[in-house]
């Protein structure tokens, strides 16, 4: 085979295969009582479609384990882990269909046994509990005894419509020993969400979606949660250390790995993640523009000067963003409840929560009134530690507090802070001013303040005129 040329035969083979696939219509076949095996699926645009529950299980921190113990020992760990997972899935009425490193996918479907309907969700949850029970009561005791290690895993489950189709390429027809590089793919958001829930689950935790929760009988044992990955919020239910019972003759104690919280991001971390994503997107855009500039350099000398100047500005912006990113990275490990180490830094970080969410009412409402009232009280406490009075804290947060109080209909509180802003700040929003005055029903105090400070700027004159136009 030439290293730099695709032969005409190879090119035509690929072209004909693509044309054949795109020409065929997609035929859907409803899944029967049993899932189709790979040999039963034709190499065509026929897809099997039906309601399934998809389970993903993934060993936590396996890369760290591989670094700590020799590879041959890790083979034993992997094989033992996968063995107990397959048993749990199979004995719970499911099918193991994919392996990816230390991760496994199991699928389950509804069935009728002894005139009793058993949902795919019930089977998947049973399998998840089975897996955690075998790992902590069977596998970890042996690993602890023989290798002085223990493992944990997270499990995600999602229930919905899934389509199954065959993909790949057959081996050479004339060679019986040639390998058929063919497999099945599981198409649909159900599979993707199950994988996301798995990545968001903590060690020894099961994370399920709303549909799965609605189909299980033990729904009261689950806790409703919202977790974030990047800027996307995932809602569902979790249960931790949710074991199956063992027979009386089994005398074993659970040995669990250390909890590795990989999914719960603090609100500030979400802000950091959002900023990081925007920074990277902007850097990618900068790189794209730089490439376009490089192509245009040959057109004219005048254009060259303009493009080089623009490219330099973009590089400066990229450097500034990278410096900001480095600062964010250095803060992440310090954010979680390290306020006592540096009160000045803690006050600044908490204040950034208010500034980052200013006028973002959807985010403010997502975290609810009690959260913000607690955070405001926290700011007063932190301010006292660094020598700030309550009034000074309110001056620091004036417009942010008004926005939060308006968001939750607390117009009495909003008016008090508006008076503080009018007396100590250098600007006022005419729209916010009118809204708060009208809905609070108060005006005398702020009118007196405005009359004293009317020479401080156009904002004060406009707000005083607005007050007079309202008849106050």
Task: Record the tokens describing residue 261, joined without a space.
Answer: 């919280």
User: Are 156 and 256 in the same domain?
Assistant: yes
Note whether 260 and 290 are same-domain residues: no
Please write the tens of the pLDDT for every residue from 72-127: 778 888 888 999 999 999 999 999 988 876 789 999 999 988 888 999 999 999 99
Asked if 283 and 244 sit in the same domain, the reply is no
Please give the average per-residue pLDDT across 17-34, as a whole number. Answer: 62
CA 132 to chain centre: 23
pLDDT recorded at residue 310: 81
CA torsion, ordered 371, 372, 376, 382, to nearest 10 deg: 50
The conformational region for residue 168 under phi > 0 = left, psi -120 to 50 = alpha, else beta, is: left
Same domain, 221 and 285: no
Structural domain ending residue among the three candidates 264, 284, 318: 264
Neighbour count for residue 309 (Cβ, 10 Å): 11
Domain harbouring 129, CATH code: 3.30.70.1230
Residues 84 and 227 in one domain: yes
Residue 210 belongs to domain spanning: 26-171+180-264
Which of 213, 231, 230 lies closest to 222 in space, CA to CA?
Answer: 213
Instruction: Decide: helix, strand or coil at residue 41.
Output: coil
Q: What are phi and psi of 331, to 5 degrees?
A: -80, -25
| Partners of residue 223 on adjacent β-strands | 238
Tell whether 369 is covered by a domain.
no
Residue 356 lies in a domain: no
Enumerate the β-bridge partners of residue 33.
Answer: none
Helices (H), 228-300: 267-296
Q: Same structural domain for residues 77 and 35?
A: yes
Q: What is the DSSP string of 141-191?
A: HHHHHHHS----EEEEEEEEEEEEEEEEE---TT-TTS--EEEEEEESHHH
pLDDT per residue as tens digits for the range 297-336? 767 667 777 778 888 888 887 787 688 778 877 776 565 4
Q: Which residues pair with 238 in a beta bridge?
A: 207, 223
What span, in angstroms and rounded, lies between the C-alpha atoms of 321 and 316? 9
How many Å apart are CA 275 and CA 380, to the nearest integer? Answer: 27
Whether residues 225 and 133 fall in one domain: yes
Lowest mean pLDDT among 40-44, 270-274, 456-460: 270-274
Confidence band (pLDDT; 50, 70, 90) for 278? Answer: low
pLDDT in tens, 423-432: 898 889 889 9
> Are residues 274 and 286 located together in one domain of the fold?
yes
* pLDDT class of 408 with cuts at 50, 70, 90: very high
The last residue of one of the domains, among 264, 293, 310, is 264
pLDDT digits (tens, 9 = 90+) for 227-253: 988 778 999 999 999 999 998 888 888
Instruction: Encode pLDDT of 116-172 as tens digits.
Output: 899 999 999 999 999 999 999 998 998 899 888 888 999 999 999 987 776 656 666
What would the pLDDT profile of 205-216 be if each residue is shown by its tens digit?
Answer: 999 999 999 999
What pLDDT does 295 receive? 78
pLDDT band at 373 (very low <50, low <70, confident <90, very high): very high
Is residue 228 domain-resident?
A: yes
Q: What pTM value is reported for the model?
A: 0.50
Tokens of 285: 């855009």
Q: How many domains does the chain have?
A: 2
Instruction: Tell me: do 55 and 93 sit in the same domain.
Output: yes
Q: Specify the length of the chain in residues.
A: 472
Are residues 69 and 202 located together in one domain of the fold? yes
Whether 259 maps to a domain, the answer reads yes
Q: Are residues 259 and 283 in the same domain?
A: no
Report how far Cα 207 is from the mean position of its chain's Cα atoms.
13
pLDDT at 457: 83
Last residue of a domain, one of 242, 264, 286: 264
- CA triple 382-388-390, angle to 5 deg: 85
Question: Pick from 201, 208, 169: which is nearest to 20 by CA?
Answer: 169
Based on its alpha-carbon atoms, the radius of gyration of the chain, rounded to whole angstroms, reads: 31
């Amino acid at each position: 085979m030439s290293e730099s040329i695709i032969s005409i035969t190879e090119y035509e083979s690929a072209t004909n295969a693509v044309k054949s696939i795109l020409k065929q219509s997609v035929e859907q076949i409803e899944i029967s009582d049993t899932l189709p095996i790979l040999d039963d699926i034709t190499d065509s645009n026929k897809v099997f479609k039906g309601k399934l529950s998809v389970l993903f299980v993934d060993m936590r921190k396996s890369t760290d384990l591989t670094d700590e113990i020799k590879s041959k020992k890790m083979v034993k760990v992997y094989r033992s882990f996968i063995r107990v997972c397959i048993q749990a899935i199979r004995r719970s009425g499911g099918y193991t269909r994919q392996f990816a490193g230390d991760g496994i996918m199991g699928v389950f479907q509804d069935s009728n046994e002894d005139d009793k309907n058993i949902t795919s969700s019930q089977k998947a949850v049973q399998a998840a509990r089975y897996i955690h029970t075998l790992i902590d009561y069977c596998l970890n005791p042996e690993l602890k005894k023989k290798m002085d290690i223990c493992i944990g895993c997270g499990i995600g489950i999602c229930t919905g419509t899934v389509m199954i189709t065959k993909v790949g390429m057959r081996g050479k027809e004339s060679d019986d020993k040639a390998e058929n590089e063919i497999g099945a793919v599981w198409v649909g958001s159900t599979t993707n969400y199950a994988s996301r829930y798995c990545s968001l689950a903590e060690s020894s935790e099961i994370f399920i979606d709303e549909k799965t929760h609605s189909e299980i009988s033990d729904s009261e044992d689950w806790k409703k949660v919202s977790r974030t990955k990047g800027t996307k919020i995932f809602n569902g239910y979790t249960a931790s250390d949710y074991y199956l019972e063992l027979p009386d003759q089994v005398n074993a104690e659970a040995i669990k790995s250390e909890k590795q919280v990989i999914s719960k991001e603090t609100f500030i971390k979400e802000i950091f993640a959002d900023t990081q994503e925007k920074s990277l997107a902007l850097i990618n855009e900068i790189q794209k523009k730089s490439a376009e500039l490089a192509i245009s350099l040959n057109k004219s000398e005048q254009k060259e000067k303009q493009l080089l100047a623009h490219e330099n500005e973009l590089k400066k912006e990229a450097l500034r963003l990278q410096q900001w990113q480095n600062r964010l990275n250095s803060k992440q490990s310090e954010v979680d409840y390290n306020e006592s180490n540096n009160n000045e830094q803690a006050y600044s970080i908490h204040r950034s929560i208010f500034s980052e969410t200013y006028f973002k009412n959807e985010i403010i409402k997502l975290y609810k009134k009690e959260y913000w009232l607690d955070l405001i009280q926290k700011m007063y406490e932190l301010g006292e530690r660094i020598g700030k009075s309550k009034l000074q804290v309110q001056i620091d947060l004036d417009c942010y507090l008004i926005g939060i109080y308006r968001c939750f209909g607390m117009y009495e509180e909003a008016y008090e802070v508006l008076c503080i802003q009018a007396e100590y700040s250098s600007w006022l929003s005419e729209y916010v001013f009118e809204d708060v005055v009208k809905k609070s029903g108060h005006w005398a105090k702020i009118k007196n303040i405005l009359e004293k400070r009317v020479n401080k700027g156009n904002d004060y004159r406009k707000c005083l005129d607005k007050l007079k136009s309202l008849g106050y």
